[in-house]
Amino acid sequence: MAPIDHIRELVASNPNVRTELVKLQNGDTNISDEVKRKLYLYGIIHSDFNNNNIIIKNPIVKKSLSINWIKSVELQSKSLFDIALQYITTGANYLEGVSLLNEYLDNNLDIGNAEKELSYYYIGFAHHQLREYEKSNKYFKKMIISQDTSLSMHYRQKCFIGLNHFSLNEFDEGKALLEDVINNYKKEQPYAIALLNLAIQLIEKGSESNRKKQFHYWMN
């Protein structure tokens, strides 16, 4: 049997396993095959789990993975994410926020896409605020926030990616993204940011006649 501390580490790193373990502790054996295999590999259940013989193999493991312990892990995991966002959204400590979010991602490999999208978004945002534009786009582009998750944040993310491209002297890439925001999301902050920054860039780029023409087109 694997050491209890090691089993706990494995369970703590996998939110899906934690969810199914709570069910198992409550006597519900309706668990997905994928999680059954992980429970076996973690040393929690016996090898004959395919015969619906899904029980925690001994009292020591069962007690060590109690519902109260699982709840404490959930609270700890969530607080890590919340603390990271607080550091970043308030501007209190961008680097610490990035470090905590990376730790959160490393310790929660099976989190859903929405959580991953938000984590990468805020890491990208933090690097943008630190004027580390290449790093910012690296994380922003890992996962674009879906419109289903948040329409506003989807276009805000595109706006920041575009601004990063401008700061990296990648005008065409930045222009395309800001035009996308302007054309498809004509409300709230992302639209205003995109419109203003695209206008500024058009003033600074190209021939005088062309930039005036495009500037007036977008501003109108």
Cα 151 off chain centre by:
15
Domain ranges of the chain: 4-65, 72-130, 150-220
Residue type, 81: F
What three-state secondary structure class fits 3?
coil
Burial of 64 (0-12, 13-18, 19+ CB in 10 A): middle
| Residue 218 contacts residue 182 (beta carbons within 8 Å) | yes
* 200's tokens: 């500024």
Q: Please tell me the predicted confidence (pLDDT) of residue 74.
A: 75
Polymer length in residues for the chain: 220
Whole-number Cα distances in Å, 136 to 49, 50, 79, 159: 45, 46, 24, 12
DSSP string for 109-160 = TT--HHHHHHHHHHHHHHHHHTT-HHHHHHHHTT-PPPTTT-HHHHHHHHHH
With a CB cutoff of 8 Å and minimum separation 6, the contacts of 47 are 40
Distance CA 142, CA 28 (A): 37
Residue whose structure tokens are 């930045």: 174
User: pLDDT tens, position by position, for the chain (220 residues)?
Assistant: 568 899 999 998 888 888 888 888 888 888 888 888 899 899 998 887 776 678 888 899 999 999 889 888 877 776 788 888 988 998 888 998 999 899 999 988 888 888 899 999 999 999 999 999 999 999 999 999 988 888 888 988 998 999 899 889 998 898 888 888 888 876 666 566 666 666 566 656 654 444 444 444 444 4
162 and 174 Cβ atoms separated by less than 8 Å? yes
